[in-house]
Amino acid sequence: MKVLSFNPERCIGCGICEDVCSETWFKVTDREKSRIRISEGENGSFSALYCVQAGDCIDVCPVEALSRNKQGIVLVKNKVCVGCLSCVGFCPYGAMFYHPDQTQVFKCVACGKCADACPENALEIVEIDTPRAPGLQV
Amino acid sequence: MSDKTTTILAEFAYTPPAVERGYAGQTLYVDVSTPSIAAKPVTEEMKEKFIGGRGFDLWLLWHGVKDGTRWDSPENEVVISSGPCGGITQYPGSGKSIAAAISPLTDVMIDSNVGGHFGPYLKFAGWDAIEVQGKADQEVIVFIDAPGGKVTVEAAPADAPTDTHLLGHWLLEHYAPSADDYPQMSFVTAGTGSEHTRMGCLNFSLYDRKRQDLRYKQAGRGGIGTVLRDKKVKALVVRSFPISGDMNAPADLSKLQAAGASIHKEVATFDPVQNHMRTSGTTYLVQIMDDYDLLPVHNFKFGRHPDTPKIKREVWEELLTQGLPDGCWYGCTVACAHAVDGYEVKTGPYQGQTVIVDGPEYETVAGCGSNCGIFEPWAILEINFYCDTYGIDTISFGTGMAFAMECYEAGVLDAEKTGGLELTFGNAEAALEVLHQMGRGEGFGLIFGQGIRRMKAYFAEHFGADPQFVQDIGMENKGLEYSEYLTKESLAQQGGYGLTNKGPQHDEAWLIFMDMVNNELPTFEAKAEALHYFPMWRTWFGLCGFCKLPWNDVVDPKNKLSPEPQKIMHHVENYRQIFMGVTGREIDYDDIITQSERVYNLQRVLNIRLGKGLREHDAIPYRSAGPVTEEEYLSRQERYDTQLREWLGLNPDEMTLAEKMAAHREYRMDRYEKLTDAVYARRGWTADGVPTPEHLKKLGIDYPDVLAVVEKHL
């Protein structure tokens, strides 16, 4: 399946990916509405939180709002999601996000907009067989 | 509706109001006698002082009943309310309701905490509470149809079943317009056992989307199912709207989301290494209680048994279906509401049917299992299934059966008196036959179904039982059967059971580990403080619509480093934030306790108004305080002898067994009285257990009719 991939050695922490993501999906520039979150570590390196399509969240959902499509991408059905945030707590990668402007959760669906915009090519869409933690796909 | 042919007896049209900050702003009044239906406003004073849930139940009951109201009086009410936070989806355990009525077992108000979808759906249908009064002259169903904009009282057709597992399906078929509506439906039902006993429970349904079937949670305690069936109400039915994450229109959703994301992470991280509730519910307690000599065995005589491993958590984990989101409300990741799927019923009228058995929970395993000497999982499941569908409280059944079995083994009962049933400890078939008799309304089941208090009187009057013996071993207080913890070595928990409003149910206080295991309550004053704080804190769950389990059944280990680890303040803070986030009302930790104190004290005054609620009614059976029989003393002789030396300065080597037992009894009952004095003083009550006018004034509930009750007892 195609997933987002992050190379921490290339990331400079510019945040363009977060801006592009929130603009793509929420039509605003707001890091809190991005489906990828970049943070700086103690040694000056950067890490990223985003969905690797592991699907651990699917069985936790009480209303079957989470499912995997034919391409392997885990999707949130906004009309079904009751905003319980169970998936937020149970995602081992911290990659399911929420915002008080809406009740439903949101997550990376590997659309690739951030990868296209990344000036350092730290992000790309790759084909993998087994999901791994963010930053370890490559 | 598919093939609905019921006759409408009363109809009330309404437009469901938008819920604002956790409140619909009105309560639903249904008099099934007339029948008639009305809306009552929720006042600012109700919200300010009584919050919701049990507080609203109490307020409505206070105004609905008379001084002489008994359980079967027409004016008695079944009242159900969730609370302002009930129905939020972000935090686990936030879909609870409290059901209340004047109890057939205790003659005072019973409040029973229950999951399922009814309470939140009732609110989202436009009603903060439902109040059912009167007695119908025919079988009726109350239908709250929010999308249809009406409430109706309808004649239940003759083909409508009564037992819950059948009735639920019948109601789905007759009241849901289509299968798409199943998730929006919820029912409150009882069963045939509720009709013939005083220990009837209410079943609150939820539609399980993954199983595509109905599940039930029980408002078990105190016989509210009996009251519902006495009113000839077959079911309360609500049809609500599709659920979303902001149905309560909270003042600040971000507060709910922050608390929810935090606790879900805690559950995900720590439940697998702590209590395993996500795989086996509350059954983890069985082995722990046995390890600490606290598991009720043979009518609370003993605290452990060699066969306990046969009914421990791991056994249930194998039987319970795994991998489903088994919350009793949306978003409950603690998910204790497990079920055994595909269970084939082995006895009784439904033998051979394949059913879902909800649970069992700890109380059912301990009460209907170890306490009765039954260590066969199939028997516990069978009892669990039939108790639920007949509408019988598993706790009252288990504790009552343990009492009957001890009476049988002690010679108070024999096969002639029981109609041929050999009620020895461990005889699951005999216990099940009593249960079926309760469903049919015949034989010894009719006597048994009256509960322990009335069994004691009956056995003394008709079977020549020694009144003192049956009083000592009959584990009831106020007429309610004990829930399933051994309290002999925890004075604080004796108070936690006895010094209560509704009777011995552990939801008021569970202090055994603080008191007995960790010795954190060394003085009467320390115990009294705990018997003030914890009952008030736990009452608050029932005001708001919360479940207690996510508070202390899964906890980040860092809590141990906090100043008062037993209070788990980082979770209390979550709840405070949610309350403020939903209602928009700023509160501090003291406000939480005060909110509960208002309800707790007014409930005490209601009990006094009903002729109870005084010190004499807080007395406990000696079995809960110490060893009644020689067999019991000898089973823990080393401990009891040591206590005689250390506590009383006596030399047990120079005493007869009878003398040793008498010394223990005098000491233990005396310290219960001293505890009672300390607790009453801490709670602002007189020595007779009456809230003082000053205390009521301080709490802002010094209404003239409230003061008039207490002034007669000063």
Q: B310-321, pLDDT tens digit by residue?
A: 999 999 999 999
How far does Cα B671 stand from its chain's mean position?
Answer: 28
Distance (Å) of CA A121 to CA A109, A114, A134, A136, B429: 19, 10, 16, 16, 72
pLDDT at B4 (0 to 100) = 62
What is the arithmetic mean of pLDDT over B317-327?
96
Q: Which residue of A has its CA nearest to B323?
A: A59
- What would the two tokens of residue A13 be? 């922490």
A53 torsion bin: left (phi>0), alpha (psi -120 to 50), beta (else) = left
Portion of chain B with pLDDT greater than 90, in percent: 98
Pick the CATH number of B275-473 from 3.40.50.410, 1.10.569.10, 3.30.365.10, 1.10.3720.10: 1.10.569.10
Residue in the block written with tokens 């002034």? B711
Q: Which long-range contacts (CB under 8 A, 24 or more apart) does A14-21 make?
A: A14/A119, A14/A120, A16/A114, A16/A117, A16/A118, A16/A119, A17/A114, A17/A115, A17/A117, A17/A118, A17/A123, A18/A114, A20/A113, A20/A114, A20/A116, A20/A117, A21/A108, A21/A113, A21/A114
Q: How far, in whole angstroms, is CA B566 from its chain's centroid?
A: 22
Residue boundaries of the structural domains of chain B: 7-239, 275-473, 491-544+595-711
* Residue pLDDT, tens place only, B632-682: 999 999 999 999 999 999 999 999 999 999 999 999 999 999 999 999 999
Of the candidates B483, B528, B487, the one whose C-alpha atom is nearest the C-alpha of residue B506 is B483
Q: In angstroms, rounded to a whole number, what is the distance separating the alpha carbons of residues B222 and B432?
A: 21
Per residue in B96-121, pLDDT (tens digit) is 999 999 999 999 999 999 999 999 99
Q: Are strands B129-133 and B26-31 parallel, antiparallel or unpaired?
A: parallel
Which contiguous run of DSSP H or E holds residue B13?
Answer: strand B7-13
CATH code, domain carrying A43: 3.30.70.20
Cα(B484)–Cα(A41) distance, integer angstroms: 51
CB neighbour list of residue B665: distance below 8 Å, 6 or more residues apart: B622, B626
State the smallest CA–CA distance between residue B534 and chain A in angstroms.
28
Cβ atoms of residues B365 and B311 within 8 Å:
yes
- CB contact set of B140 (below 8 Å; sequence gap of 6+): B9, B32, B35, B153, B154, B155, B156, B232, B233, B234
* pLDDT for res A137: 57
Mean pLDDT, rounded, of chain B: 97
Q: What are phi and psi of B610, to 5 degrees?
A: -85, 10
Asked whether the beta carbons of B332 and B117 are under 8 A apart, the reply is: no
Give the mean model confidence (pLDDT) for residues B189-200: 98
Question: B375: which residues sit within 8 A by CB, 6+ positions away?
Answer: B305, B307, B308, B310, B311, B369, B426
Is the four-CA dihedral A40, A45, A50, A53 of positive or negative sign? negative
Q: What is the mean pLDDT of residues B190-199?
A: 98
| B487 and B624 Cβ atoms separated by less than 8 Å | yes
Task: Determine whether the interchain pair B330/A62 forms a contact, defined as Cβ–Cβ distance below 8 Å.
Answer: yes
Helices B377-390, B164-175: crossing angle, 10 deg rounding: 50
How far is residue A32's CA from residue B346's CA, in Å, rounded to a whole number?
Answer: 56
Specify the pLDDT at position A130. Answer: 79
Q: Does A125 touch chain B (CB under 8 A)?
A: no
Q: Helix (H) and strand (E) counts for chain B?
A: 28, 17
The confidence score (pLDDT) of residue A136 equals 67
At residue B383, does pLDDT exceed 70?
Answer: yes
Task: List CB contacts (< 8 A) between A103 and chain B.
Answer: 89, 244-246, 253
| Nearest beta carbon to residue A88 from set B209, B261, B332 | B261
Does the CB of B577 have a partner CB in chain A at under 8 Å? no
Residue B39 β-bridge partners = B28
pLDDT value for B169 = 98
* pLDDT single digits (tens) A20-56: 999 999 999 999 999 999 999 888 899 999 999 999 9
Report the number of distinct structural domains present in chain A.
1
Find chain A residues with C-beta within 8 A of B251's C-beta. none
Place of tokens 């059948």: B166
In contact, B493 and B430? CB cutoff 8 Å: no
Strands of chain A (E only): list them: 2-6, 37-40, 46-49, 66-68, 74-76, 97-99, 102-106, 123-127
Calpha distance A9→B272 (Å, rounded): 35
C-alpha distance from A56 to closest chain B C-alpha (Å): 11
Residue B476: predicted pLDDT: 98
Give how far Cα A123 sits from Cα of A13, A20, A111, A127, Å. Answer: 12, 13, 12, 13
- Local structure of B643: helix, strand or coil: helix
Mean pLDDT of B44-51: 98
Q: For residue range B595-608, list pLDDT tens digits in order.
A: 999 999 999 999 99
Q: Which of B116, B123, B143, B121 is nearest to B132 (CA)?
A: B143
**Alpha-carbon gap, residue B98 to B596, rounded angstroms:** 14
Reply yes or no: is the peptide bond before residue B360 cis, omega within 30 of 0.
Answer: yes
Residues B519, B489 contacting (CB under 8 angstroms): no
Helices (H), B65-214: 118-124, 164-175, 192-196
Domains B275-473 and B491-544+595-711 share a fold: no
At residue B5, does pLDDT exceed 70? no
Residue of B nearest to A61 (CA): B325
Residue B515, SS3?
helix
For residue B375, give Cα distances in angstroms to B300, B337, B421, B429, B528: 15, 22, 19, 13, 37
Does residue A85 belong to any structural domain of this protein? yes
How far apart are the C-alpha atoms of B397 and B401, rounded to whole Å? 6
Which of A12, A61, A96, A49 has the alpha carbon at shortest distance from B89?
A: A61
A133 occurs within a structural domain: no
Average pLDDT over residues B486-515: 94
Q: Give how far A113 is from chain B: nearest CA, Å.
A: 27
| CATH class label, B7-239 | alpha beta
Chain A residues whose CB is inside 8 A of the B267 CB are 89
B244/A60 CB distance under 8 A = no
Task: Work out the angle between the directed axes of helices B377-390 and B428-440 (0-180°, nearest 10).
Answer: 10
Residue B2 pLDDT greater than 70, yes or no: no
Query: Which residues, 6+ apart, have CB-to-CB distance to B691 below 8 Å?
Result: B601, B604, B605, B683, B684, B685, B710
Tell whether the torsion through CA atoms of B58, B64, B69 and B70 is positive or negative. negative
- For the cut 90, the answer to whether the pLDDT of residue B3 exceeds it is no
Phi, psi of A11 (to 5 degrees): -70, 135
Residue/partner pairs of A129-134 with CB below 8 Å, 24 or more apart: A129/A1, A131/A3, A131/A52, A131/A53, A131/A54, A131/A55, A132/A52, A133/A52, A133/A92, A133/A93, A134/A6, A134/A47, A134/A48, A134/A49, A134/A50, A134/A52, A134/A93, A134/A95
Chain B, residues 578-597, CB within 8 A of chain A, namely none
Q: In this model, does residue A65 exceed pLDDT 90? A: yes
DSSP secondary structure code for residue B364 in this structure: H
Taking the Cβ of residue A98 and every Cβ of chain B, the question of whether any pair is shorter than 8 Å is answered with yes
Residue A31 lies in a domain: yes
Is B261–A103 a contact, with Cβ atoms under 8 angstroms apart?
no
- A69 part of a folded domain: yes
Mean pLDDT within B196-215: 97
Residue of B nearest to A89 (CA): B265
Residue-level pLDDT at A1: 86
Q: What is the mean predicted confidence (pLDDT) over B541-563?
A: 97
Closest CA to B683 of B605, B567, B620, B625: B605
Measured between CB atoms, does A78 come within 8 Å of chain B? no
Write out the CATH class of domain B491-544+595-711: mainly alpha
Of residues A63, A85, A103, nearest to B261 (C-beta): A85
Chain B residue numbers touching A107 (CB-CB < 8 A): none
The closest CB to that of B257, out of A59, A60, A98, belongs to A98
Query: What tens digit of pLDDT does each residue of A89-135 get?
Result: 999 999 999 999 999 999 999 999 999 999 999 999 999 887 777 77
State both tokens at A24: 């793509």
Helical pair B657-683 and B637-648, crossing angle rounded to 10 deg = 60
The domain of A39 spans 2-127
B251 touching A (Cβ < 8 Å): no
Do B89 and A64 count as a contact with CB atoms less than 8 A apart?
A: no
| Across B127-138, average pLDDT | 98
Structure confidence by residue, pLDDT tens digits, A72-86: 999 999 999 999 999
Substitution target from B85, B94, B257 for chain A, most A beta carbons within 10 A: B257
A104 interfaces chain B, CB cutoff of 8 Å: yes
Q: How many other β-carbons are positioned within 10 Å of the β-carbon of residue B666? A: 12
Percent of all residues in chain B with a pLDDT value above 70, rounded to a whole number: 99
CB atoms within 10 A of CB B662: 12
Residues 57-76 of A with CB under 8 A from B: 59-64
The answer to whether residue A74 is domain-embedded is: yes
Q: What is the dihedral of CA B444, B446, B447, B451, to 10 degrees?
A: 130
Distance from CA of A54 to the nearest CA of B (A): 16
Q: Do A89 and B325 touch (CB under 8 A)?
A: no
